[in-house]
A = this chain, B = another copy of it.
Amino acid sequence: MAETQTKIRFGVIGCADIARKVSRAISLAPNASLYAVGSRSLDKARAFAAANGFPDGAKVYGSYEAVLDDPEVDAVYMPLPTSLHVRWATLAARKGKHVLLEKPVALGAAEFDEIVAACESSGVQLMDGTMWMHNPRTASMKDFLSDAHRFGQLKSIHTCFTFAADADFLENDIRVKPDLDSLGCLGDAGWYCIRAILLAANFELPKTATASRGPVLNQAGVLLSCGASLHWEDGKVATFHCSFLSNLTMDITAVGTKGTLHVHDFIIPYEEKEASFYASSESSFDDLVTRWSSPPSKHTIKTDLPQEALMVSEFARLVAEIKFNNSKPEKKWPTISRKTQLVLDAVKASIERGLEPVQIQE
């Protein structure tokens, strides 16, 4: 099989800003190729292809359907507004296209399950666009968090993701529009906070979610700032805060019986080619309690490919397994996505119910 045939051919559905980064990632991933782009405007699609490294001969379409109808397209990357996901992701699945779908996956679990059902029934792979999950740092952090000797049992975790949106964003971005991304900061930034908490909890769902006082909504009722606490049966507790109204911050502080993990750039690392976290185990003071016996140590993990290219590469690997080796789609990724969505739904419900605790059930 020639190399070009083994590469998974991607069609990009929509020219959102984030599609620039993912198009570059598709170019960088050794097992993927930029094959097509579709926009509601042919001119926009043409300009996007020209500006984002699409090869000569790439297909440029003036509609999303045309990408889905191209038999050469193996998989689509879909950075559409969340409200359009259920329609276009299920259609893509029905047309036999594997779906790399931007997060939040859906406006709620019911829509999520429609998308999963369509993918399962067509035997296509579904993965959400949570890029930092594919940074090798995340695997290292997970190793530490899962280590009974170095970290012990998770007891508490706090995560946050905030950034200071400018006036134009707060007026015009899809993430503040009730008809496009009605989950606002919770769907955008909170998705990552919840995912990091689930990662540290070994993907065990919390029992309850209770939204924090003082969520901020815009005039259209879209969340601009909110937070919540999550609680597990065994006593683990988590808090998170997400916002469009504060300086850029992305933190995890996870505390176990034996260890602690700190990271300050968990979603987008400070640098593309390396990323760090801080870990400490069985920390203690000197005899007089005037200084630490051993401060946390910094762990830096290097990567040749940026995390978004690693995401594309992992997705393309799974697609190739299905396409060339008759494998089944990998359930791990949609399973993790769904848990993230369930917690997100519960936080939203808690906000809607006056900050009552909301039970979370699979």
Show the binding face of A for B, using Cβ within 8 Å: 18, 20-21, 24, 152, 155-156, 158, 160, 162-164, 208, 210, 212-214, 216, 225, 227, 229, 231, 235-237, 239, 241, 243, 245-249, 251, 253, 255-260, 262, 264-265, 268-272, 278, 280-285, 288-292, 295-296, 306, 308, 357
Residues of B within 8 A of A216 (CB): 235
Report whether A249 and B260 are in contact in the complex, using a CB–CB cutoff of 8 Å.
Answer: yes
Question: Quick one: closest B residue to A212, CB to CB?
Answer: B229
Q: Are B237 and A212 in contact (CB under 8 A)?
A: yes
Closest to A282 in B: B247
Please state if B292 and A268 are interface contacts (CB–CB under 8 Å): yes
Could you give 5 example pairs across A and B, Cβ below 8 Å? A155-B225, A162-B255, A213-B231, A227-B229, A245-B257
Residue pair B239, A259 in contact (C-beta under 8 Å): no
A251 to B162, CA, bound (A): 18
Instruction: Pick the residue among B247, B257, B282, B288 that contacts A257 (CB under 8 A).
Output: B247
Q: Do the beta carbons of B20 and A288 come within 8 Å of each other?
A: yes
Residues from chain B with Cβ under 8 Å of A237 in the complex = 212-214, 227, 241
Contact residues in B for A262 (Cβ distance below 8 Å): 251, 264
Partner of A229, one of B229, B245, B255: B229
Say whether A249 contacts B257, CB under 8 Å. no
Please judge, given known A-B contacts A227-B237, A246-B256, whether A162 and B155 are in contact too, CB under 8 Å.
yes
Complex Cα spacing A362 to B314, Å: 57
Q: How far is the CA of A236 from the CA of B239 in the complex (A)?
A: 15
The distance in angstroms between the C-alpha atoms of A18 and B285, with both chains bound, is 13
Q: A156-B227, A246-B257, A290-B272 are in contact. Are A212 and B239 (CB under 8 A)?
A: yes
Q: Are A283 and B248 closer than 8 Å at their CB atoms? A: yes
Q: Report which of B239, B265, B269, B270 forms a contact with A158, defined as CB distance below 8 A.
A: B239
Q: Does the CB pair A158–B290 fall under 8 Å?
A: no
CB-CB under 8 A from A278, the residues of chain B are 264
Complex alpha-carbon distance, A262 and B239, angstroms: 17
A161 to chain B, nearest CB (A): 10
Interface centre among A248, A285, A306, A357 (most CB of B within 10 A): A248
In the complex, are the beta carbons of A253 and B256 less than 8 A apart? Answer: no
CB-CB < 8 A to A285: which residues of B?
A: 248, 268
> Is A258 touching B247 in the complex (CB atoms < 8 A)?
yes
B160, A156: Cβ atoms closer than 8 Å = yes
A160 contact set on B, CB distance < 8 A? 156, 158, 253, 255
Residues of B within 8 A of A292 (CB): 248, 265, 268-271
A275 and chain B: residue at smallest CB distance: B291
Query: Which single residue of chain B is at the shortest CB-CB distance from A307?
Result: B290
Point out the residues of chain B lying under 8 angstroms from A225, CB to CB: 155, 235
Do residues A247 and B152 form an inter-chain contact, with CB atoms below 8 A?
yes
CB distance from A197 to the nearest CB of B (A): 13
